[in-house]
Amino acid sequence: MQQLLDELRRKHEDLVLGGGLDKIQKQKEKGKMSAWERIAYLIDDESPYVEIGSFAADGQYLEHGGCPNAGVVVVMGYVKGRLCIVVSNDATVKAGAWFPMTCKKNLRAQEIAMENHLPIIYLVDSAGVYLPMQDEIFPDKEHFGRIFRNNAKISAMGIPQIAAIMGSCVAGGAYLPIMSDYALIVEGTGSVFLAGSYLVKSSIGEVIDNETLGGASTHSEISGVTDNKYPDDESCLDAIRNIVDKFGEEPRYKFSRTEALAPEYPVEKIYQYLPEDRLKPYNMLEILKAIVDEGSIEEYKKDYGKTLICALARVDGWAVGIVANQREVVKAKKPGNATEMQMGGVIYSDSADKAARFIMNCNQQKIPLVFFQDITGFMVGSRSEHGGIIKDGAKMVNAMANSVVPKFTFMVGNSYGAGNYAMCGKAYDPRLIYAWPTAQIAVMSGASAGKTLLQIQEAALKSKNVTLSEEDKNKLLADIEAKYKAQLSPYYAASRLWVDGVIDPAETRKIISMGIEAASHNADMGKYNVGVIQV
């Protein structure tokens, strides 16, 4: 675990550097702050924050020079005591140009703002769409245009949007700040126009410099496109803080909260207790006791469906309903005094039935749900099939998918196949979803996938009258497993925004607490209706 945490810290330190120290220095020579410095200046001193989308685009676009952190930093943090989403373009990464994952990350930031009715602040410093990849960014539903559609929808929802033009803001990207409620601009470095001076000259023959075309004075004094101009980044960020300070309060949803208590165990218990071997059993309750408030766990049906832990608890004072995979091998009682040994990390019919009922209870009582995944999937075989595992699994998925209470998901270990779905994977709209460095995310385990893929390739070669020797088989299997192992990594998932980041387990309490606080800003819970439940 310590090695995994050291790797996490090193990777995060690299992210903060963006495009590199030399690029940051060039920013400073222009009088500009870095993307992270702007965020640090804007949010309240010593206040907690949650980074969203860390490691996005990790290992991607290498043929284009890479795009660390997708070229944009997103955090949920406090500005003048008000919880906000802050989006800060990193101009040290390809001049802040938008790659496909940049677009996806910005859309994720807007999604969180919309779900939770949080003000969103854009610190704009971007050259616009990365032209060599324009076909993957420009025309589709979830591409660049969706950003401006969301600007309009967010405005219609009454959610405040503030934009600060702190660098380039070109072409279609010019609409993002101007569709915000407030548009501020920094003198000398900020500029906004649909077409820059070179394109203007080639299009209509007009010769004009960028500052005169779309600089701070032009848009604050002549066009009225921006509200006010500021001499430097700091004064512009001060203005944003002053604006947020004046926002009125909207009605909130009152989730249950009492005085917070520290967990029974320190977080180091997780580091020491969680097995390195992903197949080794352990008691998930021992992990939970290092996360929830001491003495707050109240298990639901603890002697039934024991491969899933369902429990009410408190985290930082907030009431939560926990659904967690139990990784111990358990003994289940059956009719006629019979017993059945059940494997940890697997969902059986009884545990799926229990979880469905518990999830419905939490929705009835307006208790946010937190899922802790370490799951290999649903139980298979004739006994499970004849017992109706598909029916019971469908019941659990239905109850979870239709939940109206906020959901939060943490991938502790394995997250395989349909188990990922049933335990509120990305496709089921968790408000926030994070992986621990110990997580592995795929349709099945590496060993199972390797053998299956080898069989498929063997069959394909056999159809072409090619027979593999044992040595060839072993080499092919090793190649397949190496590739698949890379895809199991939590950083692979974070790179594609299947999760909102990879975190130290110590951050779990903070994310749950700030996540529920964020969710409370949206007073419209909606009605819980599960539709047709399989019985």
The three-point CA angle 387-388-389 to 5° equals 100
Share above pLDDT 70 across residues of the chain, in percent, rounded to a whole number: 99
pLDDT at 459 over 90: no
Beta-sheet pairing, 161-170 with 330-334: unpaired
Tens of pLDDT, residue by residue over 225-273, are 999 999 999 999 999 999 999 999 989 999 999 999 999 999 999 999 9
Q: According to the model, what pLDDT value does residue 139 have?
A: 87
| Dist CA 523 CA 250 (whole Å) | 8
* pLDDT tens-digit map of 408-456: 999 999 999 899 999 999 999 999 999 999 999 988 776 677 777 788 8
Mean pLDDT for the chain? 93
**Of the candidates 30, 56, 379, which has an alpha carbon nearest to the alpha carbon of residue 188?**
30
Beta strand spans in 93-235 (E): 120-126, 161-170, 182-186, 191-193, 228-230
Predicted local distance difference test score (pLDDT) of residue 172? 65
Number of residues that make up the chain: 535
pLDDT at 383 over 80: no
Instruction: With a cut of 90, say whether residue 166 has pLDDT above it.
Output: yes
Lowest mean pLDDT across 104-108, 138-142, 426-430, 443-447: 443-447
**Spatial contact of 486 and 407, defined as CB atoms under 8 Å apart:** no
44-88, pLDDT tens digit by residue?
999 999 999 999 999 999 999 999 999 999 999 999 999 999 999
* Span 17-30, pLDDT tens digits: 999 999 999 999 99
> CA 375 to CA 336: how far, in whole Å?
30
Dist CA 411 CA 120 (whole Å): 27
Confidence of residue 128 (pLDDT cuts 50, 70, 90): confident
Q: Which residue has the higher pLDDT, 31 or 390?
A: 31
- Report pLDDT for 236: 98
Across 317-323, average pLDDT: 98
In the numeric block, the tokens 């590739």 are attached to 483
Q: What is the pLDDT of residue 21?
A: 95
- The least confident of 109-118, 190-199, 225-234, 501-510 is 190-199
Pairwise CA distance, residues 90 & 66, whole Å: 13
Does residue 207 carry a pLDDT above 90?
no
